């Protein structure tokens, strides 16, 4: 494994563990409200996919084998969609056109764009980033 690939895979594994712990905290301490359970489930899906991308070179699902970059891309895509939905749902708390409304909207769009770009990089195996970083052995 190259140095960059090692760093990225360890980052995915660490991020996956942290996200799974956060999901467990929401599940245990959040009660049984549907929105809390939805948030915990979303975080669990993201955490599990990132942990698998960081720890497994290949993952077989339904007889089809996926390399770790594709698994990471799926996890990051789920993170992008969920975080954007959460950010956009918060816009209703602020007056339209206020500073907090604009800031929340801009941060949400920036995070969506960055995560979508990184998910595409993982899916394609390095388009703008070094392709050795996404090599599957």
Helical (H) or strand (E) element with 69: helix 68-89
Q: How many domains does the chain have?
A: 1
pLDDT at residue 1 in the model: 60
pLDDT at 69: 92
Q: According to the model, what pLDDT value does residue 92 have?
A: 82
Distances (CA, A) of 122 to 9, 37, 64, 88, 130: 11, 29, 18, 25, 11
Quote the pLDDT of residue 47. Answer: 97
C-alpha–C-alpha distance, residues 69 and 25, integer Å: 28
Q: What is the pLDDT of residue 81?
A: 96
**pLDDT by residue, tens only, the chain of 137 residues:** 678 888 989 999 999 999 999 999 999 987 788 888 999 999 999 999 999 999 999 999 899 999 999 999 999 999 999 999 988 888 888 888 788 888 988 999 999 999 999 999 999 887 777 777 777 88
Cα–Cα distance for residue pair 93/110, rounded to 1 Å = 20
Q: Determine the structural domain holding residue 52 and report its residue range.
A: 3-133
Let me know if 137 is exposed, middle or buried by CB neighbors in 10 A (0-12, 13-18, 19+). Answer: exposed
């Amino acid at each position: 494994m190259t140095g960059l690939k090692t760093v990225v895979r360890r980052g995915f594994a660490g991020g996956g563990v942290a996200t799974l712990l956060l999901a467990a905290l929401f599940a245990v301490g959040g009660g049984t409200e549907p929105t809390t359970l939805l948030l915990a489930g979303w975080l669990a899906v993201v955490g599990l996919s990132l942990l698998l991308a960081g720890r497994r070179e290949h993952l077989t699902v339904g007889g089809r084998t996926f390399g770790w970059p594709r698994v990471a891309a799926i996890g990051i895509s789920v993170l992008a969609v969920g975080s954007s939905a959460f950010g956009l749902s918060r816009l209703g708390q602020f007056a339209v056109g206020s500073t907090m409304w604009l800031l929340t909207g801009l941060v949400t769009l920036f995070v969506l764009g960055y995560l979508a770009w990184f998910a595409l990089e993982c899916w394609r195996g390095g388009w703008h980033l070094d392709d050795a970083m996404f090599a599957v052995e």
